Chain A
Amino acid sequence: MDITLIVVLVIAVALFFDFTNGFHDTANAMATPIATGAMKPKVAVTVAAVLNLVGAFLSTEVARTVSGGIIREGDGGVLITPEMIFAGLIGAVVWNMFTWLRGLPSSSSHALFGGLIGAALVGAGLGSVDFGVVLSKVVLPALLAPLIAGVVGYTATRLAYTITRRRDDKSERGGFRYGQIFTSSLVALAHGTNDAQKTMGVITLTLIAGGLLTPDSGPPFWVVVVCAFAIALGTYTGGWRIIQTMGGGLTEVKPTQGFSAEASTTATVLASSHLGFALSTTQVASGSIIGAGLGRRGSKIQWGTAGKIVVAWFITLPASAAVGALAALIASVGVVGLVIDAVVGVAVIGGIFLISRRRPHDQGAAIEVDLAATSVLSRRRARRAERRGRVDTPAAGVEAPFVRMDDPPAPAPTRGGSTPDDEVRS
């Protein structure tokens, strides 16, 4: 097997995975500030991209294992070959693209684990996967993360509304927008330090396996640079579909809720990464937003959307495992298999991208866009539209019947979508 070809292929697909990781997770940090108008969409993704870039350089100590114990690698276990890593990455990338098309926030790390599991099952048999670790590291945290974040988000939101409750007609709740900028920036920075590292680890381990680096060496500087830029570019591209789901599809987010949700996400993510119980940022962020939605009287949660997101979390691992397994099966043919994998992979990704352009609105998504667009629509524009007699429901304040999901939501002319005084007093 030509070692150079496989190393080049792994690096290419790993960098693309890093890119999808970036745009998949922009929403975790920036969905709520965009929805409440704390930051304009372009400003928000730029801030997130810069912080991801900075974060990637801050933390370059890569993991010793690719899968974090899910696959029995190392002494007495299986050897993860570059071919397996390649097939696993293809599984992860394809699943990330698919969930993006559906506007579903799913965990990129779980997609990577899933792809690797699938590839390992085909390449090294059933014994190569430690299903106990799968249960304790992926399945149970996926149940616990939204639960704990939901409780924290609910409590924080109740507290914020209680403390700022006033008898007179004034409200200071618009001030929460400034706070949101800080909390969401922390989430973006934490993302950069965590997630760029994963790709650096994958590339470094592949270089070691290919004999291009000595074992136990850290990532070469060029690896750090390209990974940092790949994730920052992905973040800047902004997965608008996912941003719209999280910023408006789950619940209409007010500044108070947005601040509380981001504060809960930050607190939970930092606590989990420093106190030894890893939780997925994506799942924590979704849970916080639902908790914040429950915490404001009169706000509605779109449970249908929430259900779809939960389903996506649970099929992320098996689905990317299936793609990874298929890719590993094809790759086992040899160099021809690798080339077929690469070509099919590019075709599928290109196809998903084309579908996203041609069908910017499917039925489920249209509701989400409607809600999201309402939340970025300023009161003044909504009233103007209402006066013209165009709308009778609050969600129909959108000028066009559909908004293309790939385009950033139109920035509101004033400071954002929801004015503080239209919040329901609780």
Chain B
Amino acid sequence: MIDWSAFLVVALVSLCSAAALVSLYSLGLRLLTVDDRTTGRTAAGWACFVLCAVGVLFGIYLIVPALHS
């Protein structure tokens, strides 16, 4: 009656994607506000934000039916 396998998939995917997005954003914030900023750290920080932006774009892709159907 209840599709438990689908529920499990939804639970895992939600957990992983939310965790990934939040971790990337937090890491980006952290890397860009450290005291001893190096070029590498700044670049890594921005890379985190770019990955977050990719995540948001993927969200838009999923929301808009014309893009994926």
- Report which of A140, A189, A264 forms a contact with B14, defined as CB distance below 8 A: A264
Q: Contact check, A189 vs B60: say whether CB atoms are below 8 A apart.
A: yes
- Report which of A140, A151, A156, A172 forms a contact with B33, defined as CB distance below 8 A: A172
Residues facing A in B6-61 (CB within 8 A) are: 6-7, 9-11, 13-15, 17-19, 21-23, 25-27, 29-30, 32-33, 35, 52, 56, 59-60
* In the complex, chain A residues whose CB is within 8 Å of the CB of B25: 160, 176, 179, 259, 263
Q: Contact check, A260 vs B22: say whether CB atoms are below 8 A apart.
A: yes
- Report which of A59, A163, A170 forms a contact with B23, defined as CB distance below 8 A: A163
Distance, CA A132 to CA B64, complexed state (A): 31
Tell me the B residues contacting A by CB distance below 8 Å. Answer: 1-3, 6-7, 9-11, 13-15, 17-19, 21-23, 25-27, 29-30, 32-33, 35, 52, 56, 59-60, 62-66
Binary contact readout A151-180 vs B (1 if CB under 8 angstroms, 0 otherwise): 111011101100110101010110110010
Distance, CA A120 to CA B2, complexed state (A): 24
Distance, CA A156 to CA B20, complexed state (A): 8
B64 vs chain A, min Cβ distance (A): 5
Interface SS, A side? helix
A156 and B19 in contact, given A164-B30, A168-B35, A176-B29 (Cβ under 8 angstroms): yes
The answer, yes or no, to whether A336 is at the interface (CB within 8 Å) is no
B6 vs chain A, min Cβ distance (A): 4
Other contacts beyond A164-B30, A189-B60, A267-B17: 9, CB < 8 A:
A55-B63, A132-B1, A135-B1, A148-B7, A151-B15, A182-B52, A182-B56, A271-B10, A275-B13
A58 and B66 in contact, given A132-B1, A275-B6 (Cβ under 8 angstroms): yes
The answer, yes or no, to whether A315 is at the interface (CB within 8 Å) is no
Interface centre among B6, B29, B62, B63 (most CB of A within 10 A): B63
B19 vs chain A, min Cβ distance (A): 6
The answer, yes or no, to whether A399 is at the interface (CB within 8 Å) is no
A170 nearest in chain B by CB position:
B33
Closest 7 CB pairs of A and B: A163-B26, A267-B18, A172-B33, A268-B14, A156-B22, A277-B6, A271-B13
